[in-house]
Amino acid sequence: MKDVMGIINLQEDNKLIRELTDKRAVESMPFAGRYRLIDFTLSSMVNSGILNVGVMLPDKPRSVLDHLRSGKDWDLARRHDGLFYLPSPSEEDSIRKGDLKNFYHNLDFFEHSSQKYVLLTSGSFVYNVDFSQMLRFHQNTSADITMVYYTAKEEQPGRNVVLETAENGLVTDLAEKPAIYDDSKVAMNVYLIEKRIFVELVRYTYEHGGQDLLMDGIIRRANEYNIYACEHDGYVAHVDSTTAYYKANMDLLQPEVWEELFMGNNSIYTKGKDEVPVQYKETAKVKNSLIANGCVIRGEVENSILFRGVTVGKGVKIKNSIIMQKCDIQDDSLVENVICDKNVVISKEKWLKGANNYPLIITKNVVI
């Protein structure tokens, strides 16, 4: 995989998750107690042997830069290759919407790299993938573009690319749909392209008025390329809405999902922090939950995920909830079906409860 450069495109539509992404990119959303969403794509690249990774920065890049820093935690702080940040164009160059302009204004980064292939991904997917298998498939089929898809097990709303393939993996149809249905083949926003083809695709499409790489560069020009797709049969979650974020976190409470993502041969890396172990006091009761380091538990926690540094007071009951970093849930409070963003304080004897299929959201730094 030393011949492959990785690109993580952070230009995401956050309309359906704006309550949690007002001041951060979707990909820097806290996830699974101690991780960020971008950790899964970046770790999969590193575990596959990719040593040159470019991050296409979003319009609000501070949270991404603070989390990734030099790339040291992913072994990407290197003298040669390593982690690179690709900024979005200045305002006068960004009249057009879409992500294609970002690729076009950073074409020199691609052209000057020593790698032969470009692996283009999104940072809002949760998976643990070995991309080296994708490279072998790409080379064996002599494809121009190779995609990765998963087979949906249930109906899901949201913007997705659905495809149809022949038995050998050749893509016969490719379309964007507002919802997906059971047994649909859904693209994971992972594309492997020879660098020469990628540069031509970006330059031609942008200079002919294109705005979106996927829609204008790949789907509308699909007949010009030999496109194949291979299947990923493991766990996949696309965090593109609040309900999807909540469901993906709750999925981790299933042992088989947790083991596949975190206990296999390939680890998921994240920014390291030195925290003391969890303190379970005499009155603490915890059932089927993930509790990160630095927490102090005096109440009851069930089917929930608590991030670093959360304090749970005596008599508190937390159920089916996500409590992010440094939240303080004070004595005798009830929290059920709730997402608390960072640094939230819920004072004594307050009861907060959301719907089973749509959680109540408490935004960052709020005191209730």
Q: Is the pLDDT of residue 94 over 70?
A: no
Gap between the Cα atoms of 112 and 303, Å rounded: 49
Cα 85 to chain centroid, rounded: 17
Q: Is 292 helix (H, G, I), strand (E, B) or coil?
A: coil
Q: Are 198 and 191 in contact (CB under 8 A)?
A: no
Q: Tens of pLDDT along 117-160?
A: 999 999 999 999 999 999 999 999 999 999 999 999 888 877 88
Domain ranges of the chain: 4-263, 279-362
Percent share of the chain, pLDDT over 70: 98
CATH of 279-362, one of 2.40.480.10, 3.60.20.10, 2.30.180.10, 2.160.10.10: 2.160.10.10
Alpha carbon separation from 92 to 56, 88, 258 (Å, rounded): 18, 11, 45
Half-sphere exposure of 29 (CA within 13 A, CB side): 34
pLDDT confidence tier of residue 93, bands split at 50, 70 and 90: low
Gap between the Cα atoms of 131 and 46, Å rounded: 10
203-234 per-residue burial string, b: 16 or more CB within 10 A, e: under 16: eebbeeebebbbebbbbebbeebebbbbebee
**pTM of the full structure:** 0.95
The distance between the two most distant Cα atoms of the chain, rounded to a whole number of Å, is 67
Give me the architecture of the 4-263 domain, per CATH: Alpha-Beta Complex (3.90)
